[in-house]
Amino acid sequence: MEPIRDISWMAQKAFGTLERFELDSWSVLAVKGTTGSTSSGKTYKYRLLFFKKHETRPVYAVNLEASILGEWVISEQHDTAHSIIHRLSAPITYDEFRIMALERALSFLDEQKTPIKIKNSAKDTKGKHR
């Protein structure tokens, strides 16, 4: 996975960090969004940013954002993709967002795992017994 393209998280990290925690093999940063909109017209209220351990740029994000039409949505970002995954009738609290965002992230990130290949030791020994 490549880092997300939206770099507004840098300012949010500097001015609105809510919490940091580890989740499986991920470092997660929760930030409070900007009061105004970004250059893309989005207003983020909360974001969970997922970093591969020891990396400095997030590769996945789940956001609570307001569209330019004022509609509140939960969205996700990865690589160059930005998708709406849930529409809301009103903004929600951070705790409500955190639950929804972690459920979605765990599902998405689990799908991204590569199956582990196990070598068959019998083939590696070419008929020799130990």
Question: For 2-56, what is each residue's pLDDT tens digit?
Answer: 888 888 888 888 888 999 999 888 999 999 986 555 545 568 999 999 999 889 9
Q: What percent of the chain has pLDDT over 70?
A: 79
Q: Mean pLDDT throughout 73-78?
A: 94
Pairing mode, if any, of strands 60-66 and 26-32? Answer: unpaired
> How high does pLDDT run on average in the chain?
82
Q: Which residue has the higher pLDDT, 69 or 64?
A: 64
Does residue 19 belong to any structural domain of this protein?
Answer: yes
- Please state the domain count of the chain: 1
Does residue 114 belong to any structural domain of this protein?
Answer: yes
Smallest Cα–Cα separation from 97: which of 54, 41, 33, 53?
Answer: 33
Decide: 51 and 37 in contact? Cβ < 8 Å. Answer: no
pLDDT number for residue 22: 93
Does residue 88 belong to any structural domain of this protein?
Answer: yes
Q: Which residue has the higher pLDDT, 48 or 114?
A: 48
Does residue 1 belong to any structural domain of this protein?
Answer: no
Please tell me which of 6-10, 81-85, 111-115 the model is most confident about, judged by mean pLDDT: 81-85
State yes or no: pLDDT of 125 exceeds 60.
Answer: no
100 contact partners, CB below 8 Å, separation of at least 6: 62, 74, 86, 92
Does residue 4 belong to any structural domain of this protein?
Answer: no
Does residue 112 belong to any structural domain of this protein?
Answer: yes
Q: Which domain holds residue 82?
A: 9-124
pLDDT number for residue 12: 87
